[in-house]
Structure 1
Amino acid sequence: MKKTIDDTEAYGPHPDNAWHRHYGVTSLLRPPHTPQPLLFGSDQGNLELDISTSAVVVVDMQNDFCHPEGWFAQKGASMRATRRPIAPLRKLLPAWRQAGGRVVWLNWGIRADRLNLPPVVHFVGKRGAGEVGYGEHSPIDHGPALVQGSWGAEVISELPPEPADIQVCKHRLSGFWDNELDSILRGQGITSLLFAGINTDRCVFSTLQDAAFLGYDCVLLRDACSTPSPAYVSRAIHFLVAQCHGFVATAAALNTAIASHHQES
């Protein structure tokens, strides 16, 4: 960010994290931060967070996982499961943005040559010669599966990103592995993460777990997450998050709190 106002220039990724140069003086002072508190209920009691330092992280709500002609659907995966977060997110995200919260879209977006994918990732994507693997073309051909910039890596049309949203590509279950997610969040001053998307027991949980290890405040929005795995798997993830990594709440509770926040403002 380089923005000139009168004789002042600002340098940094976010207004709360910027140097300023004014009349020949370069100031390393950051402006004071004013919190925007939001109180909402969780499975472990009431939580309070700062909207201005929080982000909803939407994981893998992309064509190759959620569209009826995507990579997952053509493999026989349940679209009922992968599309379940759409409705709660369509309600939550506009309200969250209006309240001043940020949205991060975290999608698979691999290299076309797949050079940084180890054997285990190749194997998980293609367990037999007759299957379609990462970067390969399905019978209904919308381009190479999950390749960055392809149709399959795009967010589904029902959840259109806004220009101010942040988009990050990943190539592992965890969105923090070997990419820029951590540095982007820290540069923006984001300390609290609310997780939604698919799959609860795979990419959502792996990313949440790494976020907790890195010191972020973590909240799993269980009604805005889904997986085709058996129900007991999600219950186990909810238990582990609550016991070890943060909090479990709902998008519905967050929406109620945002509505009250607007009324009080």
Structure 2
Amino acid sequence: MTSVYDPTRTAVLLVDPYNDFLSEGGKIWPLVEDIATEVGLLDNLRDVVAAGRGAGMQVVFVPHRRWQEGDYDNWDHPNPTQRLIAQRHTFARDTWGGEFHPDFQPAQGDVVVKEHWGQSGFPNTDLDFQLKQHGITHVILAGLLANTCIESTGRYAMELGYHVTLVRDATAAFKPEMMHAAHELNGPTFAHAIVTTAELTDLVTGKR
């Protein structure tokens, strides 16, 4: 199975690694803290990114739209998440909460794609274009949230013909039921592999 992750054809997609999600004091951190702590989210995200970089894989940042004044004004049908963003000013542009967590900063050679407005990282962005230009056929998803942006991006990737890997402990959600749905109910309908960080690291480093 190691051959599945040809480093020249594989990208780690790091979804929404903002301070608001991942840092103490972030606006959304209190909602994910329990599950993030339980699964060891931050350490696992560090390990996934390090393993990918160590193997020579492409690392791609897939950021959500950073809120700014006027967003969603006069929209016909903003979704529930967008309504909450408009209320909370989540990931506000030019604020600490809208910056990437200090441990997850783009390095030379990384790609930062255009910000997504909804839950999938593909519509209205250059993610598919960038992956194709870098010869990517396999994507490994990590980041937030398991049952929204990770799931939506993974489903869309599958529809576009990519091989999709979910890392079950390199993500989090607001409730255990959401994690269960993401990995036990919904993930198996579109993902080609659902692994732990330890399993992924072993596969990437050739230990399996």
Same fold per superposition (TM over 0.5): yes
Whichever residue aligns with residue 255 of structure 1, its letter is T
Question: How has the CA–CA distance of structure 1 residues 248 and 123 changed in structure 2, closer, same or farther, with 3 Å as cutoff?
Answer: closer
Please say which structure displays the higher CA radius of gyration.
1
1:187 alignment partner in structure 2 = 133
**CA displacement, residues 180-236 of structure 1 (integer Å, 9 cap, x when unaligned):** 1111111111111011111111110011011111111111111212112223x3233
Out of 78, 94, 107, the position equivalent to 1:121 is 78
Out of 79, 101, 123, the position equivalent to 1:177 is 123
* CA distance in structure 1 between the aligned counterparts of 2:33 and 2:111, rounded to whole angstroms: 25
2:102 alignment partner in structure 1 = 157
1:51 alignment partner in structure 2 = 7
Whichever residue aligns with residue 96 of structure 2, its letter is W
DSSP 3-state at the match of 1:80: helix
Relative contact order: is structure 1 or structure 2 higher (C-alpha 8 Å, sep ≥ 6)? 2
DSSP 3-state at the match of 1:260: coil
**CA displacement, residues 30-85 of structure 1 (integer Å, 9 cap, x when unaligned):** xxxxxxxxx34xxxxxx723211110111112112222222224xx5232335642
The question of whether the paired residues in 2 share the 8 Å contact of 1:195 and 1:218 is answered with: yes
Q: How does 1:94-105 map to 2 (within 5 A)?
A: 94-105=50-61
* CA distance in structure 2 between the aligned counterparts of 1:55 and 1:96, rounded to whole angstroms: 8
Shift of residue 148 of structure 1? 4.6
DSSP 3-state at the match of 2:4: strand
1:243 alignment partner in structure 2 = 189
Of residues 197-206 and 89-98 in structure 1, the stretch that sits farther from structure 2 once superposed is: 89-98
1:206 alignment partner in structure 2 = 152
The question of whether the paired residues in 2 share the 8 Å contact of 1:222 and 1:250 is answered with: yes
More strand by share: 1
Whichever residue aligns with residue 99 of structure 1, its letter is A
User: Considering only aligned residues, what root-mean-square deviation do their CA atoms show, in Å?
Assistant: 2.6
The question of whether the paired residues in 1 share the 8 Å contact of 2:32 and 2:174 is answered with: yes
Q: Which runs of 5+ in 1 are unaligned?
A: 1-38, 41-46, 128-132, 139-143
* CA distance in structure 1 between the aligned counterparts of 2:122 and 2:74, rounded to whole angstroms: 15
* CA distance in structure 1 between the aligned counterparts of 2:189 and 2:205, rounded to whole angstroms: 29
The question of whether the paired residues in 2 share the 8 Å contact of 1:60 and 1:107 is answered with: yes
Whichever residue aligns with residue 33 of structure 2, its letter is M
* CA distance in structure 1 between the aligned counterparts of 2:165 and 2:81, rounded to whole angstroms: 28
TM-score, normalised on structure 1?
0.67
The question of whether the paired residues in 2 share the 8 Å contact of 1:55 and 1:194 is answered with: yes
1:10 alignment partner in structure 2 = none
Give percent identity, aligned residues only: 25
Q: Which runs of 5+ in 2 are unaligned?
A: none
Shift of residue 126 of structure 1? 4.3
The question of whether the paired residues in 2 share the 8 Å contact of 1:82 and 1:198 is answered with: no
1:80 alignment partner in structure 2 = 34
Question: How has the CA–CA distance of structure 1 residues 177 and 211 changed in structure 2, closer, same or farther, with 3 Å as cutoff?
Answer: same
Of residues 251-260 and 183-192 in structure 1, the stretch that sits farther from structure 2 once superposed is: 251-260
2:27 alignment partner in structure 1 = 71
